[in-house]
Structure 1
Amino acid sequence: MDDPAGQRTVTTVTDPLIPDGLDATLALVRHGESTYIVEGRFQGQAETPLSPTGLSQAALAAGRLADPHAAPALQVPNGDALELVHSPLERTTQTAVAIEEAISADGRTIARRPDDGLLEIHQGEWQGLHRDEISARFGPELAAWRRAPLNAWAPGGESLTDVQARLRPALATLLANLGEGRPPGTLDRPHVAGYREPAPDHPWSIVVGHDGIFKVTLLTLFDLPLERFWMWSMDLCGITIIEFRAGRPTVRAHNATAHLASLSDERTVAATEARRRSGAL
């Protein structure tokens, strides 16, 4: 028989990855455009530097994170970020260094450290190949990966299960550092968007990573199945804000890119000028 109305027992499962009662925020930042992206090549864990556009994107993201409450404000706590953690690959390191330099420009400091757990998904035999070559040589495998990413992956590459296994310790360290020495929070304060709540005063950290690893990060934090890998969109130098209240994660902002608007305007002007020049030939 059903439980009486209003008295139904609800069972919740708390992911032990997230410290009990954690009040904290993570700002996830994807790296800027790399040379392989410009060339249309699969990157994975290949070492590729930022392109000139990527360096501009990183500088704009860095400026926004160095002054996060300037309009358009990011939904991060008051005070400086606790640490800046990043994948050790060149494109993420360059992006992280840009953020570090922007924060330190006015005399502030932030601890920066690389973590191998944040490396991009290894793409095996696909790394370094142009997307058209991969389609031609590995068409069925590529289609299977796009259709069922939990059950298919690049030959010689990492499965999503393997990726999640190496990612979890990195996330555990991040969250433990944020919760160290702080009392557990509560859910007594309502969390409803639109009520102009002041910025919280709990700790926060910045994480610079990759499209694939951030997809798995979000699935892991929200205890969603890895089959949902393709549900998240992560633009270059887009910023995603995850807030934890009493250990419960909430997406406060996803893939914020307003800070890149000036770069988009420059590209539009350049493209318009290029069309005018070609039309004059």
Structure 2
Amino acid sequence: MSATSDSTTSSTTGTGKTSRKIVLWRHGQTAWNLERRFQGSTDIELTETGVAQARRAARLLASLRPDAIVSSDLRRASATAAELASITGLTVTHDEALRETFAGEWQGLTHDEILEKYGDQYAAWKRGEAVRRGGGELETEVAERAAPVVLAHVDRLPPSGTLVVVSHGGTIRTTIGRLLGLDSYYWEGLGGLSNCCWSVLGEGARGWRLMEHNAGTLPEPVLGDDD
């Protein structure tokens, strides 16, 4: 799949003076995060710490003056998005296509329990093989449902607009990989996102570029020859 479409690249000049940005923001902390319990599409609420994380991050992200917010409809993501909406006055659009990977029998299990019961499956997944963890979705299937939603909202942005996507670690990683045009084998190389941290994609002359990954502070300009 191409990293861009004609409408996506239309706002970028040959000199890159204007471009749209996508901020992909992971939800705040949940109790299952603390327990290292696989959440997947299970609808888990934020902890008090998670709410505080969302409020702090929202104050930072609001300074980017986002033009739109789209969020997974699961409570941990929608509650995170609501904190940014309350500051910016924007309306959050919820879309179930931005939910975390459905992982079937893995959901609700701790990391150690997954290794004990599904060790071979886990090892194959880590080797980069196409694995339906717990009988659930492939990572490529997650990207196929999530990335088009992100691009559809990007298409509605003004020339230098910013979209905030509030989602989940696995879904964000696969979406970034798809938008960058990376082979799915290499998506794991992007690494995970901490609770309420984000990644930033910006338009470049040849498509989307990863500008920030697993960030908790606002992006700084790249000064030097490799801008």
CA distance in 2, matches of 1:14, 1:41: 33
Q: Residue in 1 aligned with 2:214?
A: 255
CA deviation string 1:214-271 (max 9, x = no partner): 1111111110011112112311111212111457222222221248xxxxxxxxxxxx
Q: Residue in 1 aligned with 2:74?
A: 89
Q: Residue in 1 aligned with 2:59?
A: 63
Alignment length, in residue pairs?
209
Tell me the C-alpha RMSD between the 2 structures. Answer: 2.0
Q: Residue in 2 aligned with 1:20?
A: 9
CA distance in 1, matches of 2:98, 2:142: 9
Describe the shift of the 1:14–1:253 C-alpha distance in structure 2 as closer, same or farther (beyond 3 A): closer
CA distance in 1, matches of 2:95, 2:150: 10
Q: Which amino acid aligns with 2:10?
A: G
Please point out which of 183, 190, 193 is paired with 1:225.
183
Please point out which of 139, 153, 175 is paired with 2:132.
153
CA distance in 1, matches of 2:7, 2:124: 32
Q: Residue in 1 aligned with 2:98?
A: 118
Q: Is the 8 A contact 1:18 1:172 kept in 2?
A: no
CA deviation string 1:17-57 (max 9, x = no partner): 86232331111111111111112210000011111211111
* 1:27-176 matched pairs, under 5 angstroms: 27-68=23-64, 80-103=65-88, 109-148=89-128, 150-176=129-155
Q: Which amino acid aligns with 2:100?
A: E
Can you give the 5+ residue segments of structure 2 that lack an aligned partner in the other structure?
Answer: 12-18, 219-227
CA distance in 2, matches of 1:171, 1:18: 13
User: 1:129 Cα deviation (Å)?
Assistant: 1.1
Local SS of the residue matching 1:178? coil
Please point out which of 205, 212, 215 is paired with 2:173.
215
Identity of aligned residues (%): 29
Describe the shift of the 1:59–1:136 C-alpha distance in structure 2 as closer, same or farther (beyond 3 A): same
CA distance in 1, matches of 2:196, 2:217: 10
CA deviation string 1:168-225 (max 9, x = no partner): 321231221125xx5xxxxxxxxxxxxxxxxxxx111111111101111111111001
Describe the shift of the 1:40–1:214 C-alpha distance in structure 2 as closer, same or farther (beyond 3 A): same
TM-score by length of 2: 0.84
Q: Is the 8 A contact 1:21 1:246 kept in 2?
A: no
CA distance in 2, matches of 1:98, 1:146: 34
* 1:176-195 matched pairs, under 5 angstroms: 176-178=155-157
Describe the shift of the 1:246–1:203 C-alpha distance in structure 2 as closer, same or farther (beyond 3 A): farther
Q: Is the 8 A contact 1:21 1:247 kept in 2?
A: no
Q: Residue in 1 aligned with 2:224?
A: none
CA distance in 2, matches of 1:17, 1:155: 38
Q: Is the 8 A contact 2:23 2:162 kept in 1?
A: yes
Q: In terms of Rg, which structure is larger? A: 1
